[in-house]
Structure 1
């Protein structure tokens, strides 16, 4: 990929993530809080050029600081997308400890939290193709930076927030693999698109 190709590639990645957000996360109501920030244009999409964990950590720290510096009405949340890094879920999962350490280093623990999505996401104790894993599967390795205040407000407005996880598993079990594939929101069965 040449430097001239990067803007087109980044636009394609962002488009794929928006499609996933609209069709899967919002369309299946996997996160009842996502629609409001999406409709208001408060989701910031960042495509990282990082190809290794160290470079991604630099991008993560920048985006964490940048998020808290922004007006929440303009930018409530950030999706840091890493299409070139941590392609294997085990590596991505290991990286999450470094991401949490970055929150502590920047004194943002309790201010921002990080949710994780990956094309091969796998909950402990599940088979790789268990459909419930798809609640956290996105087209690319992604770190979702969320303001704690926004999460607290959303949870307060949604009294059954603790039941979201179970409802999501039921939704995907009803949908099945064929239904997920029909959404056309990214990789199927753990494969990452080039």
Structure 2
């Protein structure tokens, strides 16, 4: 599904407006005008409705961040991630979170006793420590790394979209930071070596 970042932002805006209470007549007219303005708007709206309905059944950190983020900005960001990723991708990642899909199927992995260096599509450098696995979702609109197990060192390159790292305990966001992230069974360890990282923890953990 091809949904631009701008349209995703607009769809998330209207969803959050409606979740805060019934729209007044002026807002209702504005939403209807936006919805009818372009077929992409209709696709985005239909899609985010499906994503939103699936959230409560998904145990993934991204779903919980979208539902329970402590700030409106954080929740908006998580919802936009889910909308651009797509409900199917998000559901697949939630299966990974439950270990139904093993890290053996990860996009990049390093066996025990070995390390691996990977240059990502945007030029960022990713180093996997021994026994580590990640999924990577880069598509020009989104830069998202899911740490399935182990430890990574990430040297991010500034881009048009924030660089996100999803762990079992929450979502890390930066533009061009250098950071080390280690996934334990019940917590995540983060070391920021250079730059700034925003942390959106799961509120249920």
Asked if these proteins are the same fold (TM beyond 0.5), I'd say no
Of structures 1 and 2, the larger Rg is shown by: 2
Work out which structure has the larger RCO, using CA pairs closer than 8 Å and 6 or more positions apart in sequence. 1
Higher strand content, 1 or 2: 2
Superposition TM-score, scaled by structure 1 size: 0.30
